[in-house]
Chains A and B, each alone.
Chain A
């Protein structure tokens, strides 16, 4: 099971946002994606998750192209993304936010709801247990019944991770999981990602906080002006001349 993007090209008008990007996240891999603002990182996530359609190239999950799948189908196939600015179902409670991210229930259509109530109840019990486990894992249990809009920024990041977990993902695309999060909670999020990764979930992580990121990931890829300019171990990548040029504008 690998996640791969191959030769992705994306143009916005005359501007080439992505110019032949190829990158592979192996099964259970932990890969950081860095690069200056406007390098195309978020565009790459949008394409991988099915929010935008690339002009050329392919997104493959286990060698199988995902291009025909819309965003909800990709999430169900095990490729789940989070958002840079954390989003939540604001009027649902924290627990309901998690339950909402467990699609594929009989009770999702009105016929199933009214004519197979027993089955609906059994399925609900199963996902309710998973939601409880996820709440405990992310230490969100104390706020489980609060409306999600009341969470702090850091808690919302955890909730995003929790929503992703409810989909039983193979790969999670995290868009700046540490942005705007206090250092204590960053440690918490890092620890959770490590645990989940150890359990076999692959991560591709966009992050500007290089210090926190390099503590977490053994492999870094650098995107600059729509191209991958370096990838490998953090030490090698961060001392790479082209990377220093791109990041620091040649100052260093």
Chain B
């Protein structure tokens, strides 16, 4: 496997679409999720939103997907969640073509954590978490005591057990995001797809949510999340996927992929990326230059 290093600490350069496309054709048994040459367009006469996206993920991967607005990040997620079935190319989940799987079968393997939005109906937090277990129930049944107990445990494990009976619409955005993570945990799926989970969150909550997500990746979950914050990628991800113009233009360790050139290429602005050290180790920070790029 060439497109990402076995050891995430090793800097590794791999920038071109050709490299990642070539690599994905050799499927590995440890890959739980793989996309090869996935294309998608919304209408017959419309241009392709995805133009041959390929990558694969194995347990423990924490993949941050970066790219400007409108490059197809959400479209890619919708394809690999099985919402869109008319894509070209191949998406495999645990070795099986995702088009052949029912929503229920997909839900047992992939949990989706959307951006936290204000809910239409103000369910109790506990009920929201219980909904994560729907795929484990038959269509005709409701959750039992044992499910409730598991939902309560999941909330406690995220430090929000006290919110079990609060209204989902009455808690803060950060808490709502944690509740959605708890819902994904009880879903018992090993792949977590998160569409900008820290959008709309305040500075502290962004950090709290990302810490929890990082811990889950260490436990063996596959995490694929989109973000607009390169520092989140530096801090937490062990792999960065740059999606630009419907293609994967880079795939590798954050320190290797995310540099000043790449930021200019992707976002069209000049940034300074600097390293500094503190008692926790060496970090990289990304600061936009006031003068450049506008």
A and B: interacting chains? no
**Interfacial residues, chain B to chain A (CB-CB below 8 A):** none
